[in-house]
Copies of this chain bind each other. A is one copy, B any other.
Amino acid sequence: MSAKIYFTPGPSQLYPTFKRHLEEALEQDVPSISHRGTAFQEIYKHTVNALKEVLGLPDNYKVFFLGSATEAFERIIKNLSDTNSFHFVQGSFSKRFYEYSLAAGRDAKSLEAPYGEGHDISQANIPPATELVCFTHNETSSGVATPLENIYAVRRQLPEAIIAVDGVSSLPHPAIDYSKIDTAFFSVQKCFGLPAGLGVWLVNDRALEKARQLQAKGHRLGPHHELPELELKGDAYQTPATPNVLYLYLLGKICEDMLQTGLDIVRKDIDTKSTLIYDFIKNSKSFDIAVQNPSLRSKTVIVANTKKPASEINKALAPHGFVIASGYGLYKNSQIRIANFPAHDIASVKALIEHMQ
């Protein structure tokens, strides 16, 4: 790998142990083994168990593998909603989740926060018959994070609804109480420091039961990657289609590393680094914190308003080996985004900040 450090919000910096695990995987022929053999089943089992431990996932959850987190939008809508869904929208990715539901023919409703702002849950007006409520824990475009208490409040309000959480660019940082949600998902190129190409979907027994009920009613859940088939194969430590065996193996190894460090430390390090970055932005003459409300500021994707366009900032950072991201969509020139993932160590965050002065 080059000497560059990528503070981009995914694809991003590879986990420091990535290359070593990759070399071991090649030594062991992981890319060549059969996805129907016992060696693969052992990898599957190891990765799922390590990931459940990293996330603190209760026993009533199962873990499935998809092509991307975007695929999870469709799987959740088609497998866990009969007619409707409700979406808390706070940027481009939460909006896309909502649009997928509309495109799938659901009666989808949304509460859209102004860019850079969050939601007043008490004003949400979620229809009482809502089946599926979708949150984006960490909005990768705007840098707005949803307080977990908002999610739990909706759970209390609508105990029958399935609660889905997009944790794409924050998991495993938020210590979610998984008994208060039903499904979540992420992609491995964010906080897990892997290349892109694998989505991970966490589903509890209630959600699995809902999919079975919809199927019994004659609903078309897939056919591709429909939940009952993912479950059937997953129970045998396999997948319905040939999966990305190599990344699945590497995810397990990086989970092992995180467990060895300790999740408390992984989370505390992210908190420490996010304080460093936000403090720098607050005191800087070139940048302002984009998310006004401190309780809504993402710890893992930090967004700042900038006078100079991101391209110029990157040009100035290039000789020092740092790469950050421009703002998303309409905010391409007026914002920058800095990822703060477990692969970024405190020293490199300090060095980045120094060169952004």
Contacts and interface: CB of A to CB of B under 8 A. Distances in A.
Interface of A: 1-2, 4, 6, 8, 10-14, 19, 22, 26-35, 66-71, 73-74, 99-100, 103-105, 187, 189, 194-198, 220, 222-225, 240-247, 323, 325
B19 A31 contact: no
A313 to B, nearest CB: 15
14 contacts: A1-B29, A2-B28, A6-B33, A11-B32, A13-B32, A31-B195, A31-B196, A32-B323, A67-B71, A68-B243, A104-B223, A187-B242, A195-B244, A244-B244
Contacts of A31: 11, 14, 189, 194-196
Considering residues A14, A70, A223, which has the most beta carbons from chain B within 10 angstroms of its beta carbon?
Answer: A223
A354 to B, nearest CB: 21
A253 to B, nearest CB: 15
Nearest to A247: B197
Contact of A245 (B69, B196, B198, B225): B196
Given A12-B32, A196-B242, A100 B27 contact: no
Contact of A70 (B26, B71, B220, B242): B242
A223 B104 CA distance: 6
Nearest to A323: B32
Given A187-B242, A244-B196, A247-B197, A19 B11 contact: no
A41 B67 CA distance: 20
B74 A223 contact: yes
A13 B10 CA distance: 30
A340 to B, nearest CB: 15
A66 B105 CA distance: 23
Nearest to A31: B195
Contacts of A198: 197
Nearest to A73: B224
B26 A8 contact: no
B224 A74 contact: yes
Contact of A67 (B4, B8, B13, B68): B68
A32 B187 CA distance: 14
Contacts of A35: 11, 196
A342 B209 CA distance: 45
Contact of A26 (B19, B69, B197, B242): B19
A246 B244 CA distance: 12
Given A28-B2, A196-B244, A247-B197, A224 B100 contact: yes
A125 B31 CA distance: 42
A200 to B, nearest CB: 13
Contacts of A103: 220, 222-223
